[in-house]
Amino acid sequence: MAEWFELTEQDRITTFYSKYTIQDFWLWWSDGNTNNYMEVRIRDYKLVVQIAKFLGLPYSICGIYVNNADDLKRVLKYTRDKTTIWFGIQPRKKNTNEWGEMKFGGKDSNVRGFKFLFVDIDRKIKNGEASNKDLQDCDIVANFLINRMNDAKWAKNYCKICSGNGVQLLFKLDEELLLPKLKFKCIEEYDKFRLRKVKKFYPETDEYFDILKNKLKQGIGAEMDKFVKQFKELNVMVDTSGFRLSGVGAIPFSKNFKYDGFRWRGVLEIKNEGKNEGLSDYIMSKEGLIRFTNNNNVFGKVLLAEENKIKKGVEFYNHPLVKLMLTCEFPEGYINNTLWFSMKILIRDCEIDTHSKEFIAFHTAIINKHKRSFSLNIPDKKFTFNPSVVNNYCIEHLIPPAFSLTNKNKFYNMCIGKIPFDCYKLEEEYKLSPETNIFTDISEFTYNLKENNITNNTKWVGQFINGCIKKYGMEKTKYYYDYLFKTLMQV
């Protein structure tokens, strides 16, 4: 039997695309859950309004939103012969728009979380429609990626799509990585169309949200991009824009209008044979904010330090991570892929009996406290415990670090513990780059400090605090002063 890329488009439709229906694709993408809203991205706003109102569906300037297969079929019916359309890879949600209304939209703030790892395999050189050889190149690389994912047992649940001129892969995460709720600020500004001042709403900067939304691009996405670049003899690349939070993909059963014609898009394969166990954990393990120690290789064979081990019996409850999970309130999402994942590594390495009275009491307590499930599947041995992962989480959410912050650099006495926070009131502002995080800021700033010189250092620290207040706000700056300055500035 011929491969799909060897066939004419009509034969490709008959032999391959016809194996799957819109219903099949929808059920795979949504898990049959009507709480999962898909954005059908349409560039023609007049067409969006016309069809959405006719069908009675929610819409925005970016597209139409559906939560069942029948509505998706209807939208496709009325759009695919008129224009190229796409679908939002990740599930969408309503959020505050610029007018203060709870609406769907095409922005990052309208994405509920990461449910899929999306890989867009395209041509490096594009001269008209993709040839059969171009499609073969894309298919070769797609299969290599699937095989690599399969080696890690992450190819049990995926979808493979021909986008018309390339191939796209969607790997379903074993656990959706939910994004935190954003806060919005209201600003009164002049509207040149209304010729008057109006109130508009904008999302406030949320460092945790920004970190999470870049997880795919900076972590596994960068690894895949590097992997594909090895195939230099093939006319293939990974379109890294596909790793964007609000990115879109080629919706199957639609037409890709390009090069004075069109090509049909279709599903080549849907595999649904269980969960891609550990994929979410792996994504969250990449690109941490800071590395305080040498113990930062999640794939390395690193021995568990004695002070980080969980003791059995009554000492169980004295462990920093156990205390943290029992006492702190956490934002939505992320906890299962950082704190609980770290906890499961310790359960594995410390041989904790999950049927013991103290563990069952602990497990029941955190389920009741945080109102979410905490699975007991044990992580692969390639993952090792790193207290910095836990501390990163704490720092991102202004929680006192659970473990002692250590610094691998040589210690110098900069008298930081003797410098009061209020010293900033007497100093000017230290200019900080808007592109860096607090750890880079501290690292670059410390060159101004002198050992055992409290006069010089008080002046500089005061200026640095002023710069932090302007960049991060008073609450974060006070937290950084209390928990980071004394350790990270002593170098």
Mean pLDDT of 322-342: 80
Spans of all domains in the chain: 4-272, 288-396, 416-488
pLDDT of residue 155 exceeding 70: yes
What gap in Å lies between CA 406 and CA 21, rounded to an integer?
56
Structure tokens at 300: 């390395």
Confidence of residue 18 (pLDDT cuts 50, 70, 90): very high
* 115-145 residue pLDDT tens: 999 999 999 999 899 999 999 999 999 999 9
pTM for the model stands at 0.66
Q: Are 88 and 69 in contact (CB under 8 A)?
A: no
* 229-243 residue pLDDT tens: 888 889 999 999 889
CA distances from 64 to 88, 325, 327, 411, 449 (A): 10, 40, 43, 58, 56
pLDDT for the residue 120: 96
What is 4-272's CATH topology?
A: DNA primase, PRIM domain (3.90.920)
pLDDT for the residue 286: 63
| Beta-bridge mates of residue 62 | none
In this structure, is the dihedral angle defined by the CA atoms of residues 313, 315, 317 and 319, taken in order, positive or negative? negative
